Chains A and B, each alone.
Chain A
Amino acid sequence: MELILTPEEQKFRDEVRAFLTANVPAEVKEKTMTGYRLSKEEHVSWQKTLYEKGWMAPSWPVEHGGTTWTPMQKHIFQEECAAAGAPPVVAFGVVMVAPVIMKFGTQKQKDYFLPRILRSDDWWCQGYSEPGSGSDLASLRTKAVLNGDHYIVNGQKTWTTMAQYANMMFCLTRTDDSGKRQEGITFLLIDMDQPGVTVQPITTIDGSQEINNVFLEDVKVPVENRVGEEGKGWTYAKYLLGHERTSIAAVGRSKAQLARLRDIAKVEQQDGRPLIEDEAFQKKLAEIEIDLLALESLVLRVLSDESAGKGPGPEASFLKIRGTEVQQGITELLVEAIGNYAHPYVPEAMQTGWNEDPIGPEYAASIAPHYFNWRKASIYGGSNEIQKNIIAKAVLGL
């Protein structure tokens, strides 16, 4: 089901498409489509290309360097980027911390950090989860003690995605544990390039290392790097969570992956016919495509509410649940599609510069690792169980 576009929207789509065709490097496109790991330089280089075009932060207000795009235009842009194999913009800066700084930060913080985020001068990571505080985030214990014009921070953060690349962390810390747990949390912006910050990689079940433990030992954070008021960090964190939803749904990416799945199912042969002609497989493809269409429809509604000035409501939690279910469903079908070649584990094949012959079809190497890796999606960003708790409480009043 195609979106019905106005002539203006078609023109916009063509402009975006032409830009992407001309600017996404072939190797980067290939890596993005197959799910191979991009280097930090590849991410940053692409984001700088977007910045120069003025498209780094379409959702930001114009005064900070955003666009005046309609929700439909933003959606078209996301979809075209995914279809063209453009690397997804790393969300921690532009999508996550920036809206918090805009809404609750000081003028000085806005003037300093926002342009740096736009230019990808800083790489941000998210200091939320702790070993004892996952779904129950408000129980976090990383301590920040005010000492003159600095906070001294001690504790451990975990599951910190791409912390190995980051020089800045937005971090939830505990400044008070006397009252309600949610009331003693403070939102700090921490410079990672200082003594006392140790990043230790965690190997995940697919063998990759993109998440980390981050140890904070007597880390100094100037008071001017506190966002908003002391003890109000939980409110800001919740505000941020609302902003994450439409991007976490990853509709464009799922569409591109679904197209890839179809291509592979046309090549894979089953009993002398392409797999895509198998009825059971067709049914599964259709189910997931319909799930994705419904997801896209809800994303468009939420975007349109947002542009009408309404913040995303709790129903946006559905976007995370359905979005990750669709993503995981596609990775599952990809594994089915490649049959016996799901077995080989050749991580070198996913590295830049590996030029040996593939084992089995060349598209196979990343598929099973990706399936296992993508189980994270229903766990991170507030597990899908937590999303349901939020809906039960905030929407249904249960």
Chain B
Amino acid sequence: MSFAFNDDQKLLAESADRFIQDDYAFETRRKIMAMDGGFSREVWSQFAELGWLALPIPEAHGGLGGSTVDTAVLMECLGRGLVLEPYLATVVLGAGAVAEAGNEAQKNAILAGVAEGATMLAFAHVEPKARFNLNHVETSAAKDGSGYVLNGAKAVVHNAETADTLVVSARTAGKATDADGVTLFLVDRAAAGVELRSYPTIDGLRASEVALKGVKVGADTVLGEVGAAMPVIETVADRASVLLCAEAAGAMDSAVKLTVEYMKTRVQFGRPIGEFQVLQHRAVEMLGAKEFSRALTYRAAGVIDGANPRVRSRAVSAAKVEMGRAGKKIGQEGVQLHGGMGMTDDMAVGHYFKRLTMIDMMFGNTDHHMRRFARLA
């Protein structure tokens, strides 16, 4: 197991950091947030040109076949700039599910399009009453001739409104929280009966409540085996979780730097507040929290590819717990050490705080992963 970046990873980090620095300043991000769909198509095309969209996609399908660590390196950089483009929804979750479970025809139809920046996806799995239980699927898929009819509701589906295709989980058998009986479907976002109610999220992204009202889909839209999607969903969610931790590592890095910078320049009582020992210690605690979280995140990212589910899930839960705690500390303290300025929408630190808080609430919060880590011991 290597704890150092290889040359490719170093190059990737350099180019991504340069992009954030040159092309994704805080004010640029604010403008992008107001765009249709909440992100920039132009930036998305740049991501495609830079090869970032192809990064984790298998080489056989137009991708670069990168590992989870490779993708984590990129996500960390995106986190530094609070990037709004739907990398997680399209590349990590959507394409991740297709690569994991799709047949050749499905992979051919979707993955190269994602790598080129032409196809956008969203992962419509979580339901209104599911909380953090991945097994909780009430949406039904009833047999209808050779195909299926989908009925149900999906909650807080990030970037659904701009997706071409939704990866939808639905129950073909069993009760609401059974592990068996869940099937994944590729659903055209514009299909009859797919109704979206879209809204901004508090951290500046876009999401939708997705209603499925008698949506007819063909047998060829089934992704993977009928009734056996849970292992796929768990794999995809675990990978997304560790990549969210990588994004958080980048966000924490920026939040710490901004706070320390502020402490060096803000003068009260005749000197920079960074000269007060009590505040110095708090900044040190923030930095430490970030370093531990980042280290554990990369360790988990390095472990999960091809690992057995227990090892994988335990590694991910550990990283997610550490991230949740670090993100809260850094977000809250970052604002506190900025004083009143930290409360304003004009300062970036509050936006990092919001993103870090919401990352904790995705795919299970700290308590959820603490329980899962203990249960899998």
Which A residues are within 8 Å of any B CB, using their own CB? 129, 132-136, 139, 158-159, 202-207, 211, 268-272, 275, 278, 280-281, 335-336, 339-346, 359-360, 368-369, 371-372, 375-376, 378-380, 383, 385
Number of A-B contacts (CB under 8 A): 131
A134 touches B131 (CB 8 A): no
Q: How far does the Cβ of A46 sit from chain B's closest Cβ, in whole Å?
A: 27
Q: Which residue of B lies closest to A203 (CB)?
A: B345
> Is the pair B344, A204 in contact by a Cβ cutoff of 8 Å?
yes
Docked pose: A371 CA to B353 CA in angstroms: 11
A341 touching B155 by the CB < 8 A rule? Answer: yes
Q: Are B344 and A205 in contact (CB under 8 A)?
A: yes
Sample of 14 A–B contacts (CB below 8 Å):
A129-B340, A139-B268, A159-B340, A205-B344, A268-B131, A275-B131, A280-B367, A280-B370, A340-B156, A342-B202, A343-B156, A345-B202, A360-B156, A376-B340
Give chain B residues whose Cβ lies under 8 Å from the Cβ of A158: 340
In the complex, what distance in Å separates the CA atom of A378 from the CA atom of B269?
19
Contact yes or no, B342 A341, CB < 8 A: no
Q: Is the CB of A345 within 8 A of B200?
A: yes
Q: Given contacts A280-B367, A345-B199, are A340 and B361 in contact (CB under 8 A)? A: yes
Cα distance, A383 to B266, chains bound together (Å): 15
Question: Closest residue of chain B to A204, judged by CB?
Answer: B343
Chain A residues closer than 8 Å to B332, beta-carbon distance: 375
| Interface size, B (range) | 35 or more
Residue of B201, B267, B336, B370 touching A375 (CB-CB under 8 A):
B336
The residue on B at minimum CB distance from A271 is B133
Q: How far is the CB of B126 from chain A (nearest CB, A)?
A: 6
CB distance from A234 to the nearest CB of B (A): 15
Q: Min CB distance, B269 to chain A, in Å?
A: 5
Q: Tell me whether B351 is interfacial, beta carbon within 8 Å.
A: yes
In the complex formed, the residue of A with least CB distance to B131 is A339
CB nearest neighbor in A for B267: A132
- Chain A neighbourhood of B177, CB < 8 A: 271-272
Pairwise interchain contact A379-B336, C-beta atoms closer than 8 A: yes
Which of B's residues lie within 8 Å of A, judged by CB?
A: 126, 128-133, 155-156, 177, 197, 199-203, 205, 207, 209, 267-270, 273, 278-279, 332, 335-336, 339-340, 342-346, 350-351, 353-354, 357-358, 361, 365, 367, 370-371
Q: Quote the shortest CB–CB distance from B353 to chain A (angstroms).
A: 7
Q: Is the CB of B202 within 8 A of A343?
A: yes
Nearest residue, chain A, Cβ from B271: A136
Cβ–Cβ contact B199 & A346, under 8 A: yes
- Complex Cα gap A158–B131 (Å): 41
Of B199, B273, B279, most A-chain CB atoms within 10 Å: B199
B135 to chain A: closest residue by CB:
A271
The answer to whether B343 touches A376, judged by C-beta atoms less than 8 angstroms apart, is yes
> Nearest chain-B residue to A138 (Cβ)?
B269
Given A205-B350, A360-B209, A379-B336, 4 new contacts (CB under 8 A): A335-B361, A342-B357, A359-B209, A385-B278
Given B199, B365, B367, which contacts A344 in the complex, CB threshold below 8 Å?
Answer: B199
Which chain B residues lie closer than 8 Å to A270 at the CB level? Answer: 131-133
- Inside 8 A of B365's CB, which chain A residues have their CB? 336, 339
Out of B197, B269, B340, B367, name the residue touching A281 (CB < 8 Å): B367
Contacting pair B202 A372 (CB below 8 A)? yes
Q: State whether A360 touches B278 (Cβ < 8 A).
A: no
Known contacts A345-B199, A375-B332; is A134 also within 8 Å of B339 by CB?
yes
Measured between beta carbons, the chain B residues less than 8 angstroms from A380 are 340
A221 to B273, CA, bound (A): 35
Most buried by A among B133, B346, B367: B367
| B residues near A272, Cβ cutoff 8 Å | 177
Q: Is the CB of B207 within 8 A of A344?
A: yes
A375 to B347 alpha-carbon distance, docked (Å): 15
Q: How far is the CA of A204 from the CA of B202 in the complex (A)?
A: 12
**Please, how many angstroms separate the alpha-carbon atoms of A149 and B37 in the complex?**
59
Report how far A380 CA is from B350 CA in the complex, Å. 16
> How far is A271 from B354 in the complex, measured between Cα atoms in Å?
27
CB distance from B336 to the nearest CB of A (A): 6
Interface contact B339-A372, CB-CB below 8 Å: no
Does A134 lie within 8 Å of B268, measured CB to CB?
yes
Q: Please measure, in the bound complex, the distance between the C-alpha atom of A48 and the C-alpha atom of B201, giving whole angstroms.
A: 38
| Cα A202 to Cα B342 with chains together (Å) | 12
Q: When the two chains form their complex, are residues A360 and B155 in contact, meaning their CB atoms are under 8 A apart?
A: yes
Report the bound CA distance from A255 to B369 in whole Å: 30
Residues of B within 8 A of A369 (CB): 202
Report chain B residues within 8 Å CB of A379: 335-336, 339-340, 342-343
State whether B129 touches A372 (Cβ < 8 A).
no
Interfacial chain B residues near A207, Cβ < 8 Å: 345
Cβ contacts under 8 Å, A336 to chain B = 365, 367
Which of A281, A376, A379 has the most chain B CB within a 10 Å cutoff? A379
Nearest 10 Cβ contacts at the A-B interface: A205-B350, A136-B268, A203-B345, A345-B202, A343-B201, A339-B131, A136-B269, A340-B156, A159-B340, A368-B202
